[in-house]
A and B are shown apart, each in its own frame.
Chain A
Amino acid sequence: MSTRRDARPDFEEFVVVCSDRLLRTAYLLTRDPALAEDLLQTALTKAWFAWRRLDEQPEPYVHTILVNTYATWWRRKWRGERPTGELPERGQVTGDGPETRHDLWVALGRLPRRQRAVVVLRFFDDLSEADTAEVLGCSVGTVKSQTSKALAKLRVDPALLAADERTRETT
């Protein structure tokens, strides 16, 4: 990029400093490493064109682009996710931690994309409800209700209910 007539060294610095964190957010949203990289590069490209208009804190803006691109992207990328009415066959219970994590990860994958985005922003990126609302372009009330619905959905997810049952059986 530095060979172009309007090189933006601060943009390159931003990519070096911030893109790893953004990539992880993208991965939690897409659940596919390749898609996550694609999503991140798409967001960074959009940010590059708007870079001169951004203030000194571009990360929230890029964050917003990333999440909104994901929200509108499902039509072109959903082929990677294979919807199924049946849960995958489970292996033997070998321990509490990894098993629970796997179940939770599976359950997160079943959340609608909007709710998944709220969960990632609130509990991975540690954004406040107000900041989450700003990133998603909705009201704080919507963030609260989406968070509540997402958590309720996770609690009754078959994978997690099965995990709870296993835990009860072993104790």
Chain B
Amino acid sequence: MQEYIGIAVSFVLAGGIAGAMVFLASWLGEKKPSEAKLAPFECGETPFSLPGGKLAVKFYLTAILFVLFDIELVFLYPWAVIYRTLGLTGLVEMGIFLGILIAGFVYAWDNGALEWQ
């Protein structure tokens, strides 16, 4: 259990510092509330609505494009670490993978997924 003391200390320190900052900000800070400021923050979406209401699908389109590149990175990173041992085979395989991925991205771009309308 000895080795966990360091972790426990860093937990307490991190919690303490973060808690102190929140507390100090709300104690010392100036407050000029407005309706927009008091609304919960939700990435541009209306935070509360009845179920069955309409959702803007464009956020999800962007999120899916993000996933496309995120997954690309997941595979590129380990490849980059050992690409010397993989040699030409690895390069060609990665080329095929990226080619297919980029085809998907070109499709999305071509069909207006990047236009914020």
A and B found bound together: no
